[in-house]
A and B are shown apart, each in its own frame.
Chain A
């Protein structure tokens, strides 16, 4: 009897592996979609180089020099003047309501620069760029009037603590991981074991089953919310705004993540599918596109519409607004609305999925 050679056996495994790769959805996704996705994400959409720093200006004396300085700022492609203040008291509103990164005030005896300190990385960058424009301006155009060095103040984070920037992103990541992946895989573990079919055969409706399975995770997420609040206190970034609104935001985001995990669990059967898809579809986009790692203003215009509607973006923006800026519901309802709509949408689609699809 003829024996197979080692080479033949290796080729046999190679052929089998290729067949496995091309026939398994998750393998195809990981091997062919992921590299392209990451390359496009990092090579095209993402950059640390912020294109537009939104600034507002204030010229109390209506001086010609001040206007020329603002014109010089506007001429710089990195800056975009999005508004003019009529009184110094409007600074708080400018930062809280508009997407303003800096306010430049021209006085006869000097220039004041106010920067949003909630992101120390961006604020340092903006500080450097504004100082550079001011230096050029005074060197070139106003040799007669040479005011003192600009006074720079960081709003919301006067001492520029490093902890301010990562906290919202870390909280966003933790909830995304715990709420979506753990609940989703728990559902699919039941599917894999067969107990899911047994549960469907009882008097329970699909909605009751989802509610029963999700409630413990929801209660645990309340504990996580308390942990987040304590962590904020520990890191010295106390919540400036309404605690009720802050807790509401964290709970809503956690529920939103649970719904997204359910959505994936409803349409895919294996626990591994949920794990991989939660990473690819939820975790990676929300970490890299939510403004946590890369500033949203640095992203390409083409991805901005997607970025704005990511649950992570809504959460981080609202977190910074409520916790650092102390803003309330009127300033944050768009973000809460995004999270609410996405929660209901994901829940409705997962309900349809669970009703229509019973694991084979």
Chain B
């Protein structure tokens, strides 16, 4: 079953064509990597899938309400770890009992126990992104959309975040993740390489790498 179906979608900002006739789909358990240089149209496409902006043309069908994590740290900086989890969990519509259980699970898995009552702005960036990720999946969304989640993270934090992404995909969640790190392409189960708003290559990472001799070419 397809969780996301994107059909001939386009978006223009004034004279700039940000997304040009893109068609994609996503199944459960799949990690679809959107690769491309800055300005390739990844973020615009992701925001259309999230229904944050409307496409000028084409159609997007998404199963359920997607979980979302953006490239900038987007939790409420003045709230503590505990308060952020409670706050977002309530907005996602979780009941009190479920919220408490999820909070315990997040704090345990991220080993955030000693920092539970610390304002998130004082956490190291790797932990903050891991917390953002945990909050994005707190309501068990069928689809998870991650917009450059590893931007600015050290390699250890990146690896930890990718482990979390894989764990979620293994549970059947469909993941769309955008990145401009080439090495992260191989963490995905399928790639869609974007350039100037269009999908210029796609498929399994190994296939894309073998048929497109120089992936770097798309990033120029």
Chain A interface residues toward B at CB < 8 A: 190, 193-195, 197-204, 358
Most chain A beta-carbon neighbours within 10 Å: one of B52, B65, B91, B93: B91
Which stretch from B69-77, B165-173, B177-185, B207-215 is at the chain A interface?
B69-77
Majority secondary structure of chain B interface residues (helix, strand, loop or mixed):
loop
Q: Which residues of B contact A190 (CB under 8 A)?
A: 76
The distance in angstroms between the C-alpha atoms of A197 and B74, with both chains bound, is 8
Task: Verify B91–A194 contact, CB threshold 8 A.
Answer: no
Task: Evaluate whether A358 and B74 lie within 8 angstroms (CB atoms) in the complex, with A197-B68, A201-B66, A202-B88 already known.
Answer: no
Please, which residue of chain B has its CB at the minimum distance from the CB of A196?
B74
Some 7 contacts from A to B, beta carbons below 8 A apart, are: A193-B76, A197-B70, A198-B69, A198-B70, A198-B74, A201-B65, A201-B67
Which residues of B (82-123) have their CB < 8 Å from a CB of A? Answer: 88, 91-93
Q: Which residues of B contact A203 (CB under 8 A)?
A: 65, 91-93
Task: Verify A195–B52 contact, CB threshold 8 A.
Answer: no
The distance in angstroms between the C-alpha atoms of A193 and B67, with both chains bound, is 18
The distance in angstroms between the C-alpha atoms of A212 and B184, with both chains bound, is 39
Interface: B201 (CB within 8 A):
no
Nearest CB in chain A: distance from B146 CB, A: 12
Interface: B164 (CB within 8 A):
no
The distance in angstroms between the C-alpha atoms of A88 and B102, with both chains bound, is 77
Nearest CB in chain A: distance from B150 CB, A: 15
Interface: B47 (CB within 8 A):
yes
Nearest CB in chain B: distance from A210 CB, A: 14
Query: Which of B50, B65, B73 has a CB less than 8 Å from the CB of A194?
Result: B73
Interface: B24 (CB within 8 A):
no
Interface: B53 (CB within 8 A):
yes
Task: Verify B47–A195 contact, CB threshold 8 A.
Answer: no
Q: Which residues of A contact B72 (CB under 8 A)?
A: 193-194
Please, which residue of chain A has its CB at the minimum distance from the CB of B77?
A193
Q: Which residues of A contact B50 (CB under 8 A)?
A: 197, 201
The distance in angstroms between the C-alpha atoms of A199 and B74, with both chains bound, is 9
Q: Which residues of A contact B93 (CB under 8 A)?
A: 202-203
The distance in angstroms between the C-alpha atoms of A195 and B120, with both chains bound, is 13
Q: Which residues of A contact B47 (CB under 8 A)?
A: 197, 358
The distance in angstroms between the C-alpha atoms of A190 and B74, with both chains bound, is 8
Please, which residue of chain B has its CB at the minimum distance from the CB of A357?
B53
Q: Which residues of B contact A194 (CB under 8 A)?
A: 70-74
Q: Which residues of A contact B66 (CB under 8 A)?
A: 201
Nearest CB in chain B: distance from A36 CB, A: 28
Which residues of B (32-66) have their CB < 8 Å from a CB of A? Answer: 47, 50, 52-53, 65-66
